[in-house]
Chains A and B, each alone.
Chain A
Amino acid sequence: MGRENRPAEEALNLLRSRLCNPNFIVKPLSDSPDSNYSKLKFLVSSSITEACNNSLLLLGPRGSGKIAVLELVLSDLLLEYPDTLSVIKLNGLLHSDDNCAFKEIARQLCMENQLLFSKMASFDDNSQFMITMLRECGLAHKTIIFVLDEFDLFAQGKQRLLYSLLDAMQSVTSQAVVIGVSCRLDADQLLEKRVRSRFSHRKLLFLPPSMEDLQRLLEHVLSLPVESSLPHDYTVEFNGKLKNILADERFKEIINTYLNSDSTVNRLLRFLFRAVSYMDLESGFLSLENFRTALSNIQRQPKQECIKDCSILELYILVSMKRLEVKEQNSYNFNSMMKEYKTIHDSFKTSDYYAKNVCVRAFEHLLKRELICFTDYRGYNQSIEFRAVKLLVSSVELHQGLKSYRSCPSVLLKLMEH
């Protein structure tokens, strides 16, 4: 890389770091008054100013930017009310165990308030501590915001954490907001009755952005800032080219094909990241080709790839298994497959007939590739030949794979067609 590419590299770095930073992404989507950002901010800030308790759920598919919006709101509020706010963050994946969750709450409370945290404190100690802290903070007019990520996982088990949190919020002295974040739309239905009755049932739904929003988002993310360390003319040229691409019908088509499968913000970011990382550093500009390769690389068909990876012998095995399935044998194993393989060989006189041990090994390769699998775990100490197996590819997929396979024996294709 020569010196003249420095701006290109810098631009690439800038774009990549943007795409990895969800807070940057959600900003342009959140300025309208009916956006989730505004609603959430209003709810939380009102409960801070009015010193009351609140609870709400943020629901939406995975990757729709719930946490990003929440973070944005919280960082704004922390600037607004620096002294009267403390945030406790829990994650269902980490703290779904009640004991663990209380410990983590106690730890974060201690961190926040510069208290001594004891690792050995018991469950009761911790929950007592939390209640006391809630009361103390309420008296000091300090709001505690509990963020429960993966909220549905907290609803497993006895829900003691949720109960004690929501129960504590029934009293006047405490001052807290519980914000649950979940990708299950029925997350509030998972709650027990005693918990549900204490929950406020406020829900914010996160929907995929509209097409116009997406256009704005793309422009916002991909265009370079004019006032920066980058050379001015480079920036202008870059943005001009980008505008051309964004206006291009083919580009819209690419984006649409991608969004057809998944239209959440985060997936789109992954796609954009991939495209940006293909940017040619020599020229230093994005091209339509980048997006096209990114699309083909990110939308993969693993089954087809797997079939393409197979050797001829493995294909024979797959086809004989498929034939067994067509014959409606309810269960079959390696031995019956071998029999079928032999009949294929006998009727077509193929050149690919191998001994049993070779076939066993090929069979194991298929198991490894997860194109086939054992139907049950019962005969675990049986040898591999006798355990019942099943195909994990549909016959359509298999047929397609065979057709796209280079130098696939014509016998197999013929067998697949009947």
Chain B
Amino acid sequence: MADNEGEEIISRGNEWEVVSLTASTYAAAPGPKNVEQNNDSKSDVAVENIGETSHALFMSGHFVFPPSEHENLPLEPAKTEIHNEPVGKDVVSEFDAKEGGRPSGKDDEENWTKGLSVHNEFPGIQFLDEKDNRLSIHGTEFEEGTTLKGLNLSDKEESIYSAATFSSFHGEAALSGSTTYDENMETPELTEPSERGLDLSADESKPAKPANDEEHTDSDLPCGAWWKRRAASFCAHAKEANTIWSIFIAAAVMGIVIIGQQWQQERWQALHLKWQMSINDEKTSRMLGPITRLKDAIVGGHRRGSFVEIVLFLPLRKISTKAFGGFLAGKHSLHIFPNLATHIRVFFFLIDTTPQLFIQYGDVPDSEIEIKLMAKEKEESPQVSRRSTRYSLSNSNSNNGIETEKLNESCKTTLDNLFFGQEPISLDDLLSCFPGRRVQILEVLSHLGPINSSMPPMFIYGSASTGKTSVVLQIFRHLNRPFVYVSCLTCYSPRILFESILNQLLLHKKNAANGYSSAKKCEKPSDFINFLREALINVINRFNGNSGKMSTSKSKGVQVNGRMIYLIFDSFELVREWDKSSTILPFLFGLADNLKMPEVGMIFISNTSPNMYHSSTGYIDPVPVYFPEYTEEELRQIFMINQVNRKLYSSFLDIVLRPFCRITRRVNELSTAISMLFKKYCEPLSDVGVVPNEEMKRKLFSHLQPHIAPSLNEIFRVASQSSLESEANQETRRKGSGRKSVSCGDFDEIDFHMSTSAKYLLISAFLASRNPATLDASFFDSTGGSDGRKRKRKASEKTTGKKEAAEQELLMKGPGTFALERLLAIFQCITSVGEDLLDEEEEVDDGLRVGGGSNGLMSDVLLQLSSLCNGNFIVKGASCPLDGSTRYRSTVSEELALKVARSIKFPLSKYLYRR
């Protein structure tokens, strides 16, 4: 399909490059001196070639617009619509505008994900790929027939698409978007493709939320895109015919549109889960890269010392939890010590179907996540946040405007961006920034030694959130020595790691001019080591030459920076999983020995201790430095940093810290839990600035006492931002929307929206997983169901020994698997029961069930099933060894299933087989 096409073109591009590369290398003069030259010419050629290839792509008709405009395209699709719809004079143009706007709601989300990973892999050709993405996404969503049709027409359609979209965009841009966006482009932090992509996506994915009026919510739905596709082809034909015909056809198309929208509105209930679930596994896996770049982004941004605000909307469904956890850790490490991180603010908006699912996301330190429910019922809060974030974004951008130019200059000319970039701090500051890390800091410093002294590799390890990365980076700020920071989390494959190191050493910046390509292409360690040696020699020579000039150009010309350069590998434990042949691990550990350059120091930062690194070939252990967890006293010091009312806070910590330390000693997890409790603690106080005396302390203690025990059990619970809830409640009440706001912390009700049939399906999947298949007949037999059930249950209670064994088995094996047929059968049974019950109680909810009867509920069961699978409520297990059909397994807990059942008044417990 379209994907193939794209890849063909890409590979062709590579071939061209190869051809001219050979030409250039052969043309280059011989001899060892010329290696450098060779490489230069190679990179030149590469750039040229990229230009060439994309040129060819322009010609091919897929590509009718300059890339910069295409990048601008997804900026504010929702707005585009708003501007265009009231105009409505020209039917065709309006339609086209919608055409552009509609799919973007979801497609863009995909586009950026895929497009971004494309940045890494096929630099320079990403525009094409984005286009392809769009095609392929359409392809996956449509029925087969329409896909074919769409593809046949793809050329014309694409041209219509783009032309229309861009014309409308231009209007929009002229109105508001252009200025902010341009600044956006220049911001150094945002010139990294990943970040910018994410940033854009932050804007883009907002329209994907339900917006103000009904029409918008509808139009944001991706699932109705099939008729747009057809309509587009109609338009293409219409343009060829004469004007009368075109008007006629346009009118007909409008009719279809209106009908389609009405129909769509009805389907909304059933399909809303689908809106962000169609990202399939493959795509999400490609999405990991850009998302994981964020820690780099943050560190990099920090390093350059400008003001950054990052707003993220993450469709956190199957994002690698590791990546996400690392990302949060990155954010966290800046937030714990706020005096160091004043320049960065990070907002996350994670998008998922249900907060409960976070529990399954293994490593996510979810106490960090503030959940805002973005389902349909909560329109107001995202709206507000959107406005505020956009405001703050533009704010930060304007701040950046001046700084950016300066930075750009300095980045281009000097080696400054190998340094930390901010004012060096003194040793005392450094030590006071990191309470409890004094010994470790001094140890690292002694290992690094005085200026110009070489060192063997160092291995820093300690569990999460013990300040490894922050300490090391701040030490380099203190020493003001050049370093190269790479995180194996963000550089998730050897190739990306190598290229990232080389880019930093060669002072190469990925930007639009070079098509976001790396300075050097290198995949194999053997190439890497040659390039690295070359680059290092180059840099060190420049240091030697420039050392006089450097010190004067620095703000304070005191430091002699030395000629040592340090390579820092963060999150090194991930390297273990990179390749099973395990040559990369000994290679990286032995990099210093291989290079044999005394000017290079290696620092590895890892979560796991050195004895957890196994390799068949072995390596010489680097010198270990251990960062232990903070003790209770140290935690206390950390939390006392930047407290306004120290007395009050310390009396609060007296109560709280000890019990919490028994559960966890991680700063990031504690800080969120404690901050919530502190609000509770301060509730009785009218003035927070007051210095508490003994009596007041006692009073406050008795006030807080009842809250401690429950909060201990909720320390890791995801959605326990009570303050946030109450705010949201107030807000919704003020708006008078009349909707019942669903509280996040309150688990008595389900706090996500789900259509009735999806709920039934969930329940039936749960039943199918829990109940043995042999008992289905007795449970669901419509005639004598309840009698048979009771008899069965009693019979099973007789043998207690068997029961225990079975219980043990259930504990071990977890929920069972089931075939699709069984699920559907149960579904049909329980929906009919549910119908009866509802009819008896005469509580038929009109809004939810259109058409009534089981037919309404049966309508899109398979679609629902796939969205439940995507939502991780049901997982696809291994296929059955006998007939090869896929088997499913329900992952919901019993509590959740009971809650769901309660919400649709379904007597679940009656049908549950109790052993």
Contacts and interface: CB of A to CB of B under 8 A. Distances in A.
Contacts of A19: 456
A208 to B, nearest CB: 14
* Chain B contact patch, size range: 35 or more
B587 A311 contact: no
A385 interface: yes
A365 B812 contact: no
B706 interface: no
B526 A313 contact: no
B895 to A, nearest CB: 10
A182 to B, nearest CB: 10
Nearest to B658: A407
A116 B443 CA distance: 49
A280 B28 CA distance: 54
A139 interface: no
Contacts of B814: 379, 382-383, 385-386
A415 interface: no
A384 B21 contact: no
A352 B625 CA distance: 33
Contacts of A225: none
A195 to B, nearest CB: 20
Interface stretch (B164-172, B398-406, B710-718, B750-758): B710-718
A386 B618 contact: no
A63 B618 CA distance: 10
A115 interface: yes
A20 B620 contact: no
Nearest to A308: B628
B637 interface: no
Interface residues of A, number: 83
A388 interface: yes
B609 A277 contact: no
B628 A309 contact: yes
A115 B812 contact: no
A339 interface: yes
Contact of A150 (B31, B617, B620): B617
A303 B593 CA distance: 28
A290 to B, nearest CB: 10
Contact of A111 (B32, B360, B583, B812): B32
B363 interface: yes
Nearest to A294: B623
A93 B590 CA distance: 10
A381 B812 contact: no
The listed residue with most B CB atoms (<10 A of its CB), out of A94, A303, A332, A336, is: A94
Interface string A52-94: 0000000000110001000000000000000000000001111
Contact of A16 (B453, B620, B877): B453
A305 B608 CA distance: 11
A267 interface: yes
Contacts of B363: 364, 368
A361 B30 contact: no
A361 B713 CA distance: 11
A305 B813 contact: no
Contact of B812 (A62, A153, A331, A384): A331
A95 B526 contact: yes
B745 interface: no
B22 A118 contact: yes
A16 B455 contact: yes
Contacts of B618: 62, 183
B629 A309 contact: yes
Contacts of A267: 620-621
B449 A383 contact: no
Contacts of B446: 277-278
Interface in B594-624: 594, 598, 607-612, 617-621, 623-624
Contact of B529 (A13, A94, A183, A331): A94
B512 interface: no
Interface in B9-44: 18, 21-22, 25-26, 28-32, 35
A121 B137 CA distance: 41
B733 interface: no
Given A120-B18, A297-B443, A333-B811, A361 B716 contact: yes
Contacts of B18: 120
B623 A305 contact: no
B597 to A, nearest CB: 10
Nearest to A23: B596
A270 B456 contact: yes
Given A16-B453, A115-B31, A386-B812, 11 more contacts: A95-B526, A119-B21, A120-B22, A274-B447, A278-B446, A281-B450, A305-B609, A308-B628, A309-B629, A311-B662, A335-B811
28 contacts: A12-B450, A12-B453, A13-B453, A17-B598, A20-B454, A67-B593, A94-B529, A94-B587, A114-B31, A114-B32, A116-B26, A116-B31, A118-B25, A267-B621, A281-B450, A309-B629, A313-B663, A354-B663, A357-B713, A361-B715, A364-B362, A365-B664, A370-B612, A381-B876, A382-B889, A386-B812, A386-B813, A386-B814
Interface of B: 18, 21-22, 25-26, 28-32, 35, 359-360, 362-363, 443, 446-447, 449-450, 452-456, 461, 463-464, 524-526, 529, 583, 586-587, 590, 593-594, 598, 607-612, 617-621, 623-626, 628-629, 661-666, 712-717, 808, 811-815, 875-877, 889, 891
Interface of A: 9, 12-13, 16-17, 19-21, 62-63, 67, 91-97, 100, 104, 110-112, 114-120, 150, 152-153, 183, 266-267, 269-270, 273-274, 277-278, 281, 297-298, 300, 302-303, 305-306, 308-309, 311-313, 331-333, 335-336, 339, 352, 354-355, 357-358, 360-362, 364-365, 367-370, 379, 381-386, 388
